[in-house]
Amino acid sequence: MTVLVLGDQLNAHVGPLADRPDDPVLLIEAADLARRLPYHPHKLTLVFSAMRHFRDRLRESGRTVEYRQVERFADGIEAHLDAHPGDDLVVMRPPSDRAGERLRALVERYGGQLTVVENELFLCSPEQFDGWAGERSSYRHEDFYRFMRRETGYLMDGSQPVGGEYNYDDQNRETPPEGYVPPDPPTFEPDAITRDVRSRVAETFDGGYEEPPYGGAWADPGPFRWPVTREQALSVLEAFVTDRLEEFGPYQDALVADEWALHHSLLSPAINLGLIHPRTAIERVIEAYHERDVPLNSVEGFVRQVLGWREFMRHVYRREMPELAGANQLEQTEPLPPFFWTGETDMACLADVIDGVRTRGYSHHIERLMILSNFATLLGVEPQQLNRWFHAAYVDAYHWVTTPNVVGMGTFGTDALSTKPYVSSANYVDKMSDYCSDCPYYKTKTTGEGACPFNALYWDFLDRNAEHLADNHRMGLVYNHLENKDDGEREAIRERAEALRERAQRSEL
């Protein structure tokens, strides 16, 4: 039997790699996977370099590893089964929708057999989640998070949460003081393997994606500094625990111009590749809480993101696909503005965040939700177009990650996992950031030239979707404010919003 290891399953401590230490291993580096979307060069460099490093570590440990570099993934399977006719393969189930079934059909097409086993790179099994969810068609994250705390015992004192509360989110909405300087993010100098991969990506894939608008040449990549080995990933975790964890909680929702990392862990690329197990990250953070005086709100905030939200997204995706991918309950139809690819906008918040994505393939979760997704949703962008952009743009993005986050939460394409849209006017951006002070748009104006686009688009969004949202008990106050606007003001808002949509498509915002 051969253990098939996929590019996002690079962990030798769980699954078939751990259970079958004497079996040979197959990894396939396929160029066609890199051409499905105009991926950020850092994403491709990260995945291919991590795969090659993982190959070498397995060989150093005495494993027999067959590493095939091919044009199509199917070519790698075919070549393997030509060399080993009738071989039985085993693989952990990929989290993307129906990928396990497609893999099995592919292996059988070339005369082999494939056993698909549970993916042990998550903390909640399908059986656990399904037992919790039952027959429900909508899901509440807070309920699931509390369930997982009780199941794992993380931050629990017997049957009660440590500190008396499950959630300290109300303590995690501070903005840094004047002169704030966050710790430098950990970086890694590319070795020979990474340099070779980076060159191949630049030569083979940059600009090689043919679909409009910008192919693979849209990014403006800076130096590649992401971890590509387990050892590097563990050092990122240790840097977070040592230098960043204490202030992570208070500032996790903050937005600071030119400060892309703040106190965030920067672990999502490594965790989503399998280089580090989420259990390892959570337990190290909790260990730090017991070792020294780390604020509970910072520790709980991290645990909630990894134990709660990440697991929640995985299983909502699993249960709600394929309908989730096409969901569009608000019937939004606007194209994604070109400046999401180019960064050409005068809006200070959007320009800074998009520039960071073009440079690093990364921005933190509030930038993703309350700047990028918020703006696209207010503009009326079709959820699927925004989801495609997120999937292509981010180093930690996979279809199972972006689809529930973008289609479900970010654009409110479905109410399966959230009860209201996460939208706001300039008030939120101003409260949580320093962008508005250096922006040519006026944060306090709704209509007229120079008014912040967030404002008119926000009220227009509420107006356009009143039939769907006005009865939502969580939105009663904002709809009362909308009703208090006279007919002339509402008409001016509609005209301003329509003009902004047209200007957005011309990259004139």
> For residue 83, is it within any domain?
yes
Domain check: are 253 and 349 in the same one?
no
- C-alpha to C-alpha distance for 386 and 403, rounded to whole angstroms: 10
Domain boundary among 68, 93, 117: 117
pLDDT in the model for residue 329: 96
Domain check: are 494 and 437 in the same one?
yes
- Tell which residue, 253, 240, 257, 264, has the closest CA to residue 175: 253
- C-alpha to C-alpha distance for 197 and 51, rounded to whole angstroms: 10
pLDDT in the model for residue 204: 81
> For residue 330, is it within any domain?
no
Element (H, E) at 49: helix 41-60
Domain check: are 362 and 460 in the same one?
yes
Please give the sequence-ordered ranges of beta strands (E in DSSP) within 213-254, or none if there are none.
none
> For residue 329, is it within any domain?
no
The amino acid at residue 488 is: G
pLDDT in the model for residue 206: 64
- Tell which residue, 92, 85, 90, 48, has the closest CA to residue 70: 48
> For residue 211, is it within any domain?
no
Q: Tally Cβ neighbours within 10 Å of residue 442.
A: 15
DSSP code of residue 65:
E
Domain check: are 144 and 277 in the same one?
yes
> For residue 215, is it within any domain?
no
- C-alpha to C-alpha distance for 451 and 425, rounded to whole angstroms: 11
The amino acid at residue 212 is: P
Tokens standing for 393?
A: 């743009």
Domain boundary among 117, 134, 167: 117
Domain check: are 156 and 300 in the same one?
yes
- Tell which residue, 84, 79, 72, has the closest CA to residue 35: 72
CB 500 within 8 A of CB 456: yes
Q: What is the CATH number of the domain that holds 149?
A: 1.25.40.80
Please give the sequence-ordered ranges of beta strands (E in DSSP) within 132-271, or none if there are none.
156-157, 160-161
pLDDT in the model for residue 138: 80
Q: How many domains does the chain have?
A: 3
Strand-strand pairing, 160-161 and 156-157: antiparallel
Domain check: are 353 and 374 in the same one?
yes
Domain boundary among 286, 317, 348: 317
- Tell which residue, 1, 62, 83, 67, has the closest CA to residue 30: 67
- C-alpha to C-alpha distance for 126 and 345, rounded to whole angstroms: 43
pLDDT in the model for residue 418: 87
Domain check: are 280 and 378 in the same one?
no
> For residue 207, is it within any domain?
no
Bridge partners (DSSP) of residue 29 are 69
Domain check: are 41 and 113 in the same one?
yes
Domain residue limits at 84: 2-117
Domain check: are 100 and 59 in the same one?
yes
Place of tokens 């608000």: 330
Domain check: are 277 and 347 in the same one?
no
C-alpha dist (Å) from residue 26 to 55, 101, 123: 9, 18, 25
> For residue 193, is it within any domain?
no
Domain check: are 17 and 34 in the same one?
yes
DSSP code of residue 216:
G
Backbone angles phi, psi at 28, to 5 degrees: -125, 120
Q: What is the CATH number of the domain that holds 400?
A: 1.10.579.10
Domain check: are 179 and 104 in the same one?
no
- C-alpha to C-alpha distance for 97 and 81, rounded to whole angstroms: 25
Q: What is the CATH number of the domain that holds 98?
A: 3.40.50.620
* Average pLDDT, consecutive stretches of 10 residues, N- to C-terminus, the chain (509 residues): 98 97 97 90 97 98 98 97 97 96 97 97 97 87 96 97 95 90 94 96 70 69 96 98 96 94 97 98 97 95 98 96 97 96 96 96 96 98 97 97 97 92 95 94 95 97 95 91 94 97 94
> For residue 325, is it within any domain?
no
Place of tokens 């709100």: 297
pLDDT in the model for residue 217: 78
